[in-house]
Structure formats: C-alpha cells, structure tokens
Structure 1
Amino acid sequence: MPGVGQVAHPVAIASQIIEKSEGCFLWASLICSELRQVTSEREIDMVIPRLLRPLETEGRTLIRTLVHGDLWDGNASVDVSTGRPLIFDPTPLYAHNEYGMGPWWAPRHKMTSAYIAAYTEHYQKSEPVADFEDCGAPYGLRVDLHASSLYPGSLRHRNLVMDTMRALLKKYPLGYTGYLVEKNSAAAASNQAVTASWREPTTA
C-alpha cells in the first residue's frame, strides 16, 4: 500500500495494465502524467489542475480508496442463480473513489449516467460539488487512453481524448489560475457585502 499522501497508479505496457506503486503527492499531477502521451502540455497544464487540484486544496484531502479500475459493462454481470451482481477482470489501485466511475462517463458504454446517479445516492460527491461532472472527464479520458493502447491501429479513442480536452480547454481557458481568481473575487464581494451591512444606518 502507498505511503501517506501517495497513490498507486497503473502503467500501460503493450496491452496489459501493470500496477506500480510510486509516490505522487498530488492526484492532479498523476493524471497529467498519464495524458501527456497524446495531448499538448498547454491543454494538460490548464485543464487537469483546474479540475483536480481543488480536490486537494483549501483544507480538502482525498481519501485513497481501493477501486476496481476498469468497471464497465463488459466486466460486470449478474449471477443467474442468485440475481446478485458480479464484477470481474479488475485492475485495482488506490485512488480517488470517483476515479472508479471513469468508464461510466463514456456514452458508448451501457453503464452511464443512471449508474453515476445511483452511486451518488450512496456516496457524497467530492468537494467542490459544482465541479463533479467535469471532474469525471479526466477519468473518462484515462479510460479512452487505455482503449487506444489496445487498438493502436485505430484513432477513434485518441480522437475522443482530443475532442474532450479541447472542449474542457474552451470552458476553462485560464485553468487553475482562473479558479483562484473567481474564488478570490467571490470572497471579496462577500466581504464587501458584509461590510456594507455593518455600515447601514438603523431606522427608528
């Protein structure tokens, strides 16, 4: 098991996933390293920290959870004799628990939004909650990268990664810096409102 503040991460070699425990003190930096093989530094450095760094700042801490690692409809079934669910073919790792939903963000799979909704009925969304859906995008990108490595002759999954990254970059052009600016501006506006309320004269 990784040390305190560290996570284990999978390394793709040929068509296999090999678990390798290495230190990575920011979850965002781990996901960045996984994506650098197919997209530009600018896209990575803008988008991924913007979405994932807030998970580990402002007093927030990620609790490492053992996740399946590849939980999609091809790796899940139902026991016909008991009616109970079965899952198999894992690539387990300690990670942000929402990383386990990575395949569910891909619309091509059968386990999609309904499963995400059911999951969040039992597990609270990570703060900041407003970023929940977009935070799922980097995890879905990781799934598409894995699929791309399995089919090197096809550009389909790699193009999906590029399209998603471009959409996120358009939405978050200022990256994590933009997040801090928005947060500080909101805090300043709140402080001004409080100060103004103190100065309002009372009426008899």
Structure 2
Amino acid sequence: QGYIVLNRPWAFVQWLQKADIPEEYILMAEPDHLIVKPIPNLSRDGRAAAFPFFYIEPKKYEKVLRKFFPEKEGPITNIDPIGNSPVIIEKESLSRIAPTWMNISLAMKKDPEADKAFGWVLEMYAYAVSSALHGVGNILHKDFMIQPPWDLEIGDSFIIHYTYGCDYDMKVYSSLLTQNFRIRLRSSFFNHVLLLTRAN
C-alpha cells in the first residue's frame, strides 16, 4: 500500500509467536538509533518506558482516534504521545499489544481520514492506541533519546536518533557560517549525513 512501515507490527507478531525469547523485557529500537551508553530497565510496575514525541498529539486528533479508541475505553488522554520505539516493555504486554497494533495499523491505513491525518506516523499512532486499549501505561522519558538537529547536546540521554533529513541550500549554508558553525559533510552509499558542530 506504499507504506512499508506496516511490516513492523506484523514482524513483531511473527517474532513473538515463533521465537524462543527467554528475557522478560524487550527494548524496541530502530536501525537509526545510536546507543551511547547502557540503558537500564526504565519500566516499572507493569508500565512500559517510552519516549514522548511532540508530533504525536492524541487530543488534536481525538475525532479520528475515536474510530479506533471508543469513548467507552476512557479519555483520549489515556493514549500516550508515543510510538513503538524506543520502548522498554514486558514481553507479556507486548505479546498482547502486537496483534492489536497490526490490526489497527491496517484499519487506519484503509481509513482515508486516518491515513490523511497521520501520514508517515500512522503506525506510531496505532501502537499508542493499542497500548492504551490493553491498559499498558507508559512512563515517559524525555531523556530516552535526542534527535539532531533539534537537540545539540547528548546530556543524560541514552540514544541518538538520526531520523531527520539533512537537506540544506546555500541560504542555509551561509546562515550557518554566520552563526559560527563548522560544517562537515560525510557521504556513504546509503546516506548523506550533515554533521554540524559549533566552532570553538
């Protein structure tokens, strides 16, 4: 359907059904996550640990989300502003969430209003809704990761998320130079990463 991320919940469903997983907890991460220090188990008392995304806004899209999270399930604030990654969660909880996550992702993609509203973060909304439907709350950790270029310091974070594109033009380039930035461009077969570091 032109949305490759729909494979993600289906992959978790198959993995949880077929793999022998002795661990009690699972960390869901992504290929563009760079782990910079050991991550402790941040989940507590049956609640998962997750990163709050500023662009996941359940209240803003309540009308659309009520198709998948009826009022009988509780207030829209029960849906946390998260995706499935990074998340630390009990294996048992994820085993319950994953099939629902898959089905809601498909249902949202087939719903024109939801598809238009959520776009490339549709599967993230589906995970947040599924987590709420199964009563799995999330402890929100803003210091779980940073996301350059918006975040410039690692601080106490555990992960650097290289998610945003590095598009720029000569106007931006000139602006960066006037702000005393040093620009270093690295190229590889798979991507182009623009590294910006303040000049000392």
Q: TM-score, normalised by structure 1?
A: 0.31
Q: Which has the higher strand share?
A: 2
Larger Rg: 1
TM-score by length of 2: 0.32
Q: Larger RCO: Structure 1 or Structure 2 (Cα < 8 Å, ≥ 6 residues apart)?
A: 2
